[in-house]
Structure formats: C-alpha cells, structure tokens
Amino acid sequence: MSVSVRMVVRTGIVRDERYLEHKPGHMHPEHPNRLKAVYRMLDSSFPFGLMEIKPEPATLEQIELVHSPSYIKKVLKTADHGFTSLAPDTPASARTYLSAWLAVGGCLKALDALISGQCEACLSLVRPPGHHALQDRAGGFCIFNNIGITARYAINRYELQRILIIDWDIHHGNGLNDFFYEQKDVLYLSSHDTMLYPYTGDWEESGKGEGEGYTINIPIPRALKDRDFFHLYHEIVGAVTRAYNPQLVLVAAGFDAHYEDPVGRSKLSGQAFKWLAHLLLDLRADINHPPILLILEGGYNPRALASCVKEVLDAFKSDGTWERPSLEDVEQGDELVRKVRRIHGKHGVW
C-alpha cells in the first residue's frame, strides 16, 4: 500500500502548430493527424489549467550533445526540398527540419520550466519522435533524439547525476539504449516487443563498464494485458525508483502498445497508461518529488493516441485518489517480474 500524499501537480504542455509541418506522406503512419487529434482533445477536454510552453528551435550546440555535425548537416540539407529521404522509413518534407529543431527545443524549454519550478510535470507533445535516432542516423520515423538530448542537457546545464528514463513505447528505444549504455548517471528502462523494429533490447543487454546494470531491457509478449503490464511496472519501476532516487524522470511516452494501434500489434488499452501515470506520480511523491517530463514517441491511431494522452492528463490533474487495479491473476506479469529480478539481481543496482 502506498502511503504517499499526492496533490494536483502543476502541469505544463508543449504544443505548437509547426509540429504539423513535418509531412512524411499521406500513407505514412507518423502523420500530422496524430498531433492534430491530440491538440483537438486538449482544446475540448483541458481548455484551462495547463501551462502552455511555447517552443523555440534548439541551438546547434544542443543538438550536437548527441548528434554528429555531419548528420545535422544532412538534416539541414532537406530544407525547402519537396520530398527527400533521411532513411527508408523516415522521409522529410520541406519544413521537416524546422519541426525536428523545434521538437528538441520544446523538450529543452520544458526541462527549463520544470527545473525552475514553473511546473512539476510536463507533457511534450511534439513530432517527429526521437528514441530510435542514433548519433549519425535517422530511422524508425525519428530524426533527432529528443529525449537523449534532453538528458545530456540536464547533465551539462543543471549538473544532474541521476536521471531515470522510462520508455513504455512498444518499440525499443535503441538510440537511448546506445547513448547511455556505459553511463550510470542515466538509467534507461524500456519495455518493448523485440519482434518489432529495431529488433534490439534483449534481456541480457544491461549496460557496460560503469553503466553495468543501469540499462534494463524488458521484452514483453504481444498478448500482455493491462493488469500484467501495470504489475510489471509497479514491481520493477517501484524498486528501481526507490533505489536509484532519480533527480529527474523522463518518459519516452509512446502509445503504440494500444490494441487499436496499426503498428504496435499489442493488447493494452488506455487504462494501462492512466494506471502508469498514477503510479509514476505516487512514486514521485515517495522520493522527494523529482520533476517528470513525458515526451511523445509513437502512437499511430490518432483517436486512440488522443484518448491515451487524455488518460495520462486526467491522472496528472487528479487529486491523487485512484482505484488501483486488482493484482490477482497476473501470472504473465509475475513471470516477467521474476525474470527481470533474476537477470538484474547480480548487478546490485536496485
């Protein structure tokens, strides 16, 4: 039982119409309609009470925190061309570079707002997404690694020493995994389906050198249900959070594990994300209230995506009372919990 006392958290939101200007094509899943649906939901369900953060483009120096100058130049070269390609699955339109620059800039501005105390939690509702972007390569619809840059920025600018990244997108965030694999100031925890792109993130990939044990990869089965998913997060993220005591929590908030998602092929519903949001806020209250920044990743059914974001925001705007799911009959979740503990027990990190 949690004894934490929660209050309504002051919540910020990053949104901007210029995120719609990245147009990868009518048939592409990462379509501007995703964000249009989310923004429409915000206007109808949350007309008041969210602090709006206006993004500015990131600086070159900030993007170079994770990306190589030659790759950044490659992205810039797509400017003003009708339709080019950064990777086979990641096309660019004339103003894609601007959306990508602003996606990073919006996340950094959200972090500034969190650290300065203007808000306690923030949702960065940006595109293109980022967790697959590598140092010198786009892929998986991602161009710049929004979260990777934000974590490095938090270390450099604010001298943070313990950043927890939780990646609940159904795809493995290979970019994040790689950037922080040998560091212990960033603990990366991801649950994902390894049968999907980019087919990485196996159990035994758990960090190296100083970072050994600070990468936690949890492959999950496609049929995993809401309560098993919640049980997994409750047990593992609960233990990790209490042991690691993060000064900042970043969430790679993808919603493509939803059962209506055309890409994720999984079985979760919106309530799983509501429970996760409540769980994070309860854990936050237990460990001295670190700021929480959720950054949008996947989610390719616009209607399902908007409703999942609403579930999360409802949790953030609530007074902290919520009905926890029953944890009877969660064998699949239990099996996962046991396996994570068995593999990570030897590292002694949590």
**C-beta closer to Zn ion: residue 114 or 312:** 312
Q: Per DSSP, what are the bridge partners of residue 83?
A: 93
Residue 32, interface with Zn ion (CB under 5 A)? no
Count of residues touching Zn ion (by CB under 5 A): 5
**C-beta closer to Zn ion: residue 12 or 130:** 130
As a three-state string, the secondary structure of the chain is CCCCCCCCCCEEEECCHHHHHCCCCCCCCCCCHHHHHHHHHHHHHCCCCCEEECCCCCCHHHHCCCCCHHHHHHHHCCCCCCEEEEECCEEEECCHHHHHHHHHHHHHHHHHHHHCCCCCEEEECCCCCCCCCECCECECCECCCHHHHHHHHHHHHHCCCCEEEEECCCCCCHHHHHHCCCCCCEEEEEEECCCCCCCCCCCCCCCCHHHCCCEEEEECCCCCCHHHHHHHHHHHHHHHHHHHCCCEEEEEECCCCECCCCCCCCCECHHHHHHHHHHHHHHHHHCCCCCEEEEECCCCCHHHHHHHHHHHHHHHHCCCCCCCCCCCCCHHHHHHHHHHHHHHHHHCCC
Least spacing, CB of residue 24 vs Zn ion, in Å: 15
**C-beta closer to Zn ion: residue 150 or 247:** 150
Q: Per DSSP, what are the bridge partners of residue 294?
A: 123, 251
Least spacing, CB of residue 60 vs Zn ion, in Å: 28
What are 246's two structure tokens? 């993060």
Residue 171, interface with Zn ion (CB under 5 A)? yes
Residue 261, interface with Zn ion (CB under 5 A)? no
Q: Which of 16, 120, 167, 169 binds Zn ion (CB under 5 A)?
A: 169
Residue 132, interface with Zn ion (CB under 5 A)? no
Cα separation, 186 vs 115, in Å, equals 17
Cα separation, 188 vs 207, in Å, equals 9
31 is catalytic: no
Least spacing, CB of residue 178 vs Zn ion, in Å: 17
Q: Considering only 11-19, 44-52, 296-304, 313-321, which stretch makes contact with Zn ion by CB under 5 A?
A: 296-304
**C-beta closer to Zn ion: residue 179 or 350:** 179
Residue nearest to Zn ion (CB): 298
Least spacing, CB of residue 336 vs Zn ion, in Å: 19
Q: Which of 57, 211, 298, 333 binds Zn ion (CB under 5 A)?
A: 298
Least spacing, CB of residue 170 vs Zn ion, in Å: 5
Residue 291, interface with Zn ion (CB under 5 A)? no
**C-beta closer to Zn ion: residue 30 or 311:** 30
**C-beta closer to Zn ion: residue 32 or 254:** 254
Residue 256, interface with Zn ion (CB under 5 A)? yes
HSE at residue 154, side-chain half, CA atoms within 13 A, is 32
Backbone angles phi, psi at 273, to 5 degrees: -75, -30
Q: Which of 207, 254, 270, 333 binds Zn ion (CB under 5 A)?
A: 254
Least spacing, CB of residue 131 vs Zn ion, in Å: 8
Q: Considering only 67-75, 120-128, 166-174, 306-314, which stretch makes contact with Zn ion by CB under 5 A?
A: 166-174
Least spacing, CB of residue 123 vs Zn ion, in Å: 17
Q: Which of 132, 172, 231, 278 is catalytic?
A: 132
Q: Considering only 32-40, 199-207, 255-263, 323-331, which stretch makes contact with Zn ion by CB under 5 A?
A: 255-263
Which residues belong to the active site? 132
Which residues here bind Zn ion, judged by CB under 5 A? Answer: 169, 171, 254, 256, 298
